[in-house]
Amino acid sequence: MPSKSAPVAGQSALAALKKSSSKTSLNGKPTQVKTVGVLTSGGDCSGLNATLRGVVKTLINDYGVKVIGYRDGFRGMIENDYQQLTLTHVSGILSIGGTILGTSNKANPFRQYQPKTGEFKDVSKKVVADAKKLGIDALIAIGGDGTMSMAARFTEMGLPTVGIPKTIDNDLMATDLTFGFYTAVEIVKESIDRINTTAMSHHRVMVIEVMGRYAGWIALYGGVAGGADVILIPEIPYSIDAVAEACARRNKEGKGFTIIVIAEGAKPIGGDITVQKIVKDSFDQVRLGGVGMQLQAELEKKLGRIEVRVTVLGHLQRGGTPTAFDRILSTRFGAYAAGMVMRGEFAMMAALRGSEIVSVPISDVAGKNKFVSPDHELIRAAKSLGTSFGEPKR
| Residue environment code for 236-267, b if the CB has 16+ CB neighbours within 10 A, otherwise e | bbbbbebbbbbbbebeeeeeebbbbbbbbbbb
Do residues 243 and 306 make contact, with C-beta atoms less than 8 angstroms apart? no
Residues belonging to the chain? 394
What is the C-alpha to C-alpha distance for residues 126 and 168, in angstroms, rounded to an integer? 31
CA distances from 339 to 342, 360, 371, 373 (A): 5, 14, 30, 34
Do residues 97 and 50 make contact, with C-beta atoms less than 8 angstroms apart? no
Do residues 199 and 259 make contact, with C-beta atoms less than 8 angstroms apart? yes
Q: Taking the CA of residue 258 as centre, how many other CA atoms within 13 Å lie in the half-sphere pointing to its CB?
A: 29
| Residue environment code for 310-326, b if the CB has 16+ CB neighbours within 10 A, otherwise e | bbbbeebbbebebbebb
Active-site residue, 169 included? yes
The DSSP bridge pattern shows strands 161-165 and 348-353 to be parallel
Q: Which of 44, 72, 137, 169 is catalytic?
A: 169
DSSP state of 316: G
Which residues are identified as catalytic? Answer: 169
